[in-house]
Structure 1
Amino acid sequence: MTAGGAVAHADAPVSGAPASDAPAAPATIPLTITNNSGRADTVYVYNLGTELSSGRQGWADAAGTFHPWPAGGNPPTPAPDASLAVPATGQSRTIRIPKLSGRIYFSYGQKLDFRLTTGGLVQPAVQNPSDPNRNILFNWSEYTLNDAGLWLNSTQVDMFSAPYSVGVTGADGATRSAGRLKPGGYRGVVDTLRARPGGWANLVQTRSDGTVLRVLSPGHGVGTGALPAGTMADYIDRVWRKYATSALTVTPFADQPNVRYTGRVSGGTMNFTNAQGAVVTSFQKPDSDSVFGCHKLLDAPNDQVRGPISRTLCAGFNRTTLLTNPSQPDTSAAGFYQDAVTNQYAREIHARMADGRAYAFAFDDVGAHESLVHDGNPQKASVTLDPFD
């Protein structure tokens, strides 16, 4: 397990002000949780996160009232039971969510084990075989509700598990949704990866009764040894060779087409220069872990130069478009995951989403291919627990 608060990914900023002509989002909004899972298990839901007005970590009850966590300990102490029961399959329950940056967890058949350290909440880390939540079937959605609106996603950045979809309805009455799998999509992801050689089958985790619990992301797979550390090495090597003799152009901001950087490999390092020819940042050749996790040698700080370039590289490596298109980002899904060496996990998840959108790696939002819904004046939201077919 890792300590820390529930923090949404880059799609969901934790602060922001509404536009001057837009109304601020209300203090709480209704979130309807619909159980269409088809499973007989009792479902428990948790709304955990960071209160944006105070920065405190805690949980929200069904009415949307925020409760800060008590002080934790070392070793970690049990957190208060923040679970909310969801009706049986075919039924719904509406709760209210306050202005948090957080996660909506849901678990089947058993409550999750949350602990508190002196540094805050300890999140489940199922890549750790000794994690107390390792044998529980669960998943989570990430969201931020602030004055600028609601960002709500369906995420597979850490794992692909219990299927669900998300939605938001704006003041105009229109509802946007994301995260729903095609019929047969859940089994399709699991079964295809199980049958794929090269270690991908090892990402599937099951319980002793045979229940499929989840598919670990390849980054966690490399970290645990389930997936070979060199899974992406051949592709990475080919990219480095290509751009030792040609240039890679990165235009990281869709709304700033004149902001461009040129990357070339020299002495094993990819240097990016601006329009004046000055080196603005450099990257050592990444390893598979850096690619899958979009971190380490592909670190992406929250700045205006290295971070945006790194995000673009990360997306190009995972989607394996860097050899086929020297102008990045490549935003056309038709060319994604076509190399024999690619992020097969992301490939299978995207292929089985009803709208093709998913959050299969950290910067899957490059080119707007992520499973995210947003509204600046949300009236209501939804999380639907979908069938395991």
Structure 2
Amino acid sequence: MFRLRKMLVAAVAGLVVATGLTVSGPAPEAAAVPDTIPFTITNDSGRAEPIYIYNLGTELSSGRLGYADASGTFHAWPAGGNPPVPAPDASIPGPAAGGSVTIQLPKFSGRVYFSVGEKLNFALTPDGLVQPAVQNPSDPNRDILFNWSEYTLNDAGLWINSTQVDMFTVPYTVGVEEQNGTVRTTGELKPGGYSAVFDAVTDAGWGNLVHTDQNGTPLRVLSPGHGVGTGDVPADAMADYIDRVWEHYRSNTLTVVPIAHEPDNVYRGTVEGDVMNFTDASGAVVTSFQKPDTDSVFGCHKHLDAPNDQVRGPLSRTLCAGFNRTTLLTNSQQPDPDNSQFYQDAVTNHYARAIHEQMVDGKAYAFAFDDVGAHESLVHDGDPAAAFMTLAPAD
């Protein structure tokens, strides 16, 4: 099972990342994947500004946090301070307009950042790396155009995604080349899709999520998961839908099969008071959820916490997806596989709706558990020959 785990610790100017993507499942019998694979970044953005690349994360063989240079060589971060101290410059010169640069991805769990025009500001605390957190108005990266992809490369292969969990900004695609030459990609926007996302979020009344630079040029759309905390989205944005769901399941049963390859593992949920209790096949209550608030839904946390276990975590992931996609009232069998029925309620996650609508393959990582039902923008191969990222025009 592929699982997106963001173990984040709040820091002064941003986030201290303890780990990135992790992959759980049976250990492979042999290490078929080489120590590094080529990763080609192509600049089809039409932008003339310099591009800077960063490969940051966890070295899987040692568990150390650090960065990789262009050759894939690992460098551990030095000790940090309190207040945070500047991190070493881990930037790699990126491709010029119309060009490509190839670096090596090591066996890492982390992120490949790219920034346009300026280098990013990273810092170190005693707990680790402080990464950009542009929901913070004082973050030094607030006015820099940048984005990132998350990936894990290990002995079982490569998992790499395009992500919009935190924000939607300068577009890109990611892909993997199989040993037989087959190439698979994801993250491609429809023509005009970039502007359409900004317009759709604004038309939904969430225009405060749009960040612009000092000249008024749009830089990004902040996710509502951050927008509740910043006040850019009403704290009760999902309250009406949450109320209707809770009332509905006082007299109806929500049936959840949270793990696709375990179809006989079925749970049933009903609401009593402000609590939804889930029972297993024997009728025993296995976990309970307090009635969530908007922040719990958009952030997939708090009342929808998802520990890395086999019961509450998978149930919480499914509930979170159902709330964000607003399918819990139209289908009592979850997760709902039919993406044509997603985001149809007037009260919904308009940010996720807009992004999915503008993706060529319909897939995106617009909230933390958008991978429920395999609707996320992810590519995986067990024996990759190469991988790539292509920066796309913002049209």
Output one character per residue of 1:2-49: Cα deviation in whole Å (capped at 9) or x when no partner: 44236334xx4278632x3x7521100000000001111111110000
CA distance in 2, matches of 1:144, 1:2: 23
1:17 aligns to 2:27 (yes or no): yes
Q: Which of these residues, 61, 65, 85, is aligned with residue 53 of structure 1? A: 61
Aligned residue number for residue 3 of structure 2: none
CA distance in 1, matches of 2:286, 2:103: 48
How far does residue 226 in structure 1 lie from its aligned partner after superposition? 0.6
Q: Which of these residues, 252, 260, 263, is aligned with residue 254 of structure 1? A: 260
Matched residue of 2:249: which SS?
helix
Aligned residue number for residue 154 of structure 1: 162
Q: Which of these residues, 74, 97, 104, is aligned with residue 66 of structure 1? A: 74
CA distance in 2, matches of 1:39, 1:14: 39
Q: Which of these residues, 192, 214, 235, is aligned with residue 208 of structure 1? A: 214
TM-score, normalised relative to structure 1: 0.96
- Cα 1:15–1:78, aligned 2, differ >3 Å: closer, same or farther? farther
1:144 aligns to 2:156 (yes or no): no
Matched residue of 1:223: which SS?
helix
- Cα 1:16–1:74, aligned 2, differ >3 Å: closer, same or farther? farther
Could you tell me whether the CA contact under 8 Å between 2:20 and 2:58 is conserved in 1? no
How far does residue 61 in structure 1 lie from its aligned partner after superposition? 0.5
Aligned residue number for residue 249 of structure 2: 243
Aligned residue number for residue 370 of structure 1: 376
TM-score, normalised relative to structure 2: 0.95
Give the letter aligned to residue 335 of structure 1.
Q
Matched residue of 1:244: which SS?
coil
Aligned residue number for residue 366 of structure 2: 360
Aligned residue number for residue 19 of structure 2: 7
Aligned residue number for residue 6 of structure 2: none
Q: Which of these residues, 338, 346, 350, is aligned with residue 344 of structure 2? A: 338
Aligned residue number for residue 174 of structure 1: 182
Could you tell me whether the CA contact under 8 Å between 1:319 and 1:342 is conserved in 2? yes
Output one character per residue of 1:290-313: Cα deviation in whole Å (capped at 9) or x when no partner: 001111100000000000100110
Q: Which of these residues, 179, 189, 195, is aligned with residue 187 of structure 1? A: 195
Q: Which of these residues, 283, 288, 304, is aligned with residue 289 of structure 2? A: 283
Q: Which of these residues, 282, 291, 299, is aligned with residue 305 of structure 2? A: 299
Aligned residue number for residue 126 of structure 1: 134
Give the letter aligned to residue 153 of structure 1.
N
Aligned residue number for residue 76 of structure 1: 84
Gaps of 5+ in 2: 1-12
Could you tell me whether the CA contact under 8 Å between 2:14 and 2:136 is conserved in 1? no
CA distance in 1, matches of 2:18, 2:210: 25
Aligned residue number for residue 268 of structure 1: 274
Output one character per residue of 1:54-112: Cα deviation in whole Å (capped at 9) or x when no partner: 11111111101001011111111111111111121110000001011010000011000
CA distance in 2, matches of 1:70, 1:16: 34
1:44 aligns to 2:56 (yes or no): no
1:351 aligns to 2:357 (yes or no): yes
1:114 aligns to 2:122 (yes or no): yes
Q: Which of these residues, 104, 120, 123, is aligned with residue 96 of structure 1? A: 104
Matched residue of 2:140: which SS?
coil
Please give the root-mean-square deviation of Cα atoms over the aligned residues, in Å: 1.2
- Cα 1:16–1:251, aligned 2, differ >3 Å: closer, same or farther? closer
How far does residue 204 in structure 1 lie from its aligned partner after superposition? 0.3
Could you tell me whether the CA contact under 8 Å between 1:315 and 1:366 is conserved in 2? yes
Output one character per residue of 1:294-346: Cα deviation in whole Å (capped at 9) or x when no partner: 11100000000000100110010000000000010101101000000000000
How many percent identity over aligned positions? 69
How far does residue 170 in structure 1 lie from its aligned partner after superposition? 1.3
Q: Which of these residues, 305, 310, 318, is aligned with residue 312 of structure 1? A: 318
Give the letter aligned to residue 152 of structure 2.
T
Gaps of 5+ in 1: none
Give the letter aligned to residue 262 of structure 2.
Q
How far does residue 192 in structure 1 lie from its aligned partner after superposition? 1.8
Give the letter aligned to residue 237 of structure 2.
T
CA distance in 2, matches of 1:230, 1:3: 26
Could you tell me whether the CA contact under 8 Å between 1:314 and 1:363 is conserved in 2? yes
- Cα 1:161–1:6, aligned 2, differ >3 Å: closer, same or farther? farther
